[in-house]
Amino acid sequence: MNTAPPVPPALTPANETVAIVRISPLRETFRLFVQNPTGMIGACLFGMILLLTLFGPTLYEIDPFDIAGAPFTSPDAEYWFGTDYLGRDILAGILVGGRATLTVGAVAAIITLAIGIAMGSLSGFFGGMLDTTLMKITEFFQVLPTLLFAMVLVTLFGASLQTITLAIGVVSWTGVARLTRAEFLRIRELDYVKAATAAGAGSSYTILRVILPNALPPIIVAAAFAIGISILFEGGMSFLGLGDPNVMSWGMMIGQNRNYALDAWWVVVMPGAAIFLAVLSISLIGDGINDALNPRLRKR
């Protein structure tokens, strides 16, 4: 008696093997950022600026404070960016001064984020009287003219690079505080936060481990822009004569040569172009991060 060949068992969800690959949010964000032309242009430009400021002084061994040639020598084959009113090499000043300028931008942004996140998270999480008090303090700092307030602090405590950095951070945190507060007010009402609280999580754990990681995307974007704003702040204060004369920076170069801009354009255009390119690259990076973190903008 002939029997039919056995029929292989059908593939059902019970015996089918499915490989699920989970991509971490950080890796997905990085992938989207790399695919963003705006962000990559900014990252490449900022990377070139970093390389020049880190390794440029080693390759171009000229002290930016030494007299390298005749005053107001226009850009030529010997002095690529010309010399200033004292005969100092402007290219050497840009290469060395970039370290101080970028350091001011980064450290001032860290101070801005530290104060802003602390004020905004406490205000948004606890609410009530604490929220009212902290927001009144924020409003007080917000209505103050930031540049004027920073100038007062530098005048009182001395025009050192540390004082300038601290002053910029102290006057620039209000926007981050309001952004953080808004995110905490939104996230604290979500189900997973209420579940963590019901499970016995303390306030510090809920703030630092539950809410803050989910509130970081817009704060990271704000941090990128805070660096650019801090660089512009340092340049503006140095232009007004409140820079540190003992530390070479792009802002100090503009400030010391501002009276000769009409006689020798390169003495302010070259360091000004360096500030412009640095701030532009950071802004492009911020736009790229924003697109990568915001699902509504990923298909733009």
Q: What is the pLDDT of residue 51?
A: 93
How many Cβ atoms from other residues are within 10 Å of residue 154's Cβ?
Answer: 21
Distance of CA 120 to the CA centre of its chain: 18
Q: What is the pLDDT of residue 11?
A: 46
Q: In angstroms, rounded to a whole number, what is the distance separating the alpha carbons of residues 279 and 266?
A: 19
Tokens of 201: 């999580």
Confirm if 217 and 294 have CB atoms less than 8 A apart. yes
Which ranges constitute the DSSP H helices of the chain?
25-34, 37-59, 90-126, 128-143, 146-157, 161-171, 174-187, 191-198, 203-205, 212-239, 250-257, 266-293
Q: What is the pLDDT of residue 295?
A: 58
**Which among 270, 250, 68 has a CA at the least distance from the CA of 60?**
68
Question: Could you read off the pLDDT tens digit of each residue along the chain, which spans 300 residues?
Answer: 455 555 455 444 444 444 444 556 677 777 888 888 888 999 999 999 999 999 988 888 888 888 888 888 888 878 888 888 888 999 999 999 999 899 988 999 999 999 999 999 999 999 889 989 999 999 988 888 888 888 888 888 887 888 889 999 999 899 999 999 999 999 988 888 888 888 888 888 888 888 988 888 888 888 888 898 888 888 888 888 787 888 888 988 888 888 888 888 889 999 999 999 999 999 999 888 888 877 565 554
Architecture of domain 32-71+81-293: Orthogonal Bundle (1.10)
Query: What's the length of the chain?
Result: 300
Confirm if 46 and 278 have CB atoms less than 8 A apart. yes
**Which among 299, 288, 228 has a CA at the least distance from the CA of 44?**
288
Decide: residue 27, CB within 10 A, 0-12 exposed, 13-18 middle, 19+ buried. exposed
Confirm if 159 and 242 have CB atoms less than 8 A apart. yes
Q: What are phi and psi of 228, to 5 degrees?
A: -65, -40
Tokens of 220: 């990271």
Q: What is the pLDDT of residue 116?
A: 93
Enumerate the β-bridge partners of residue 89: 83
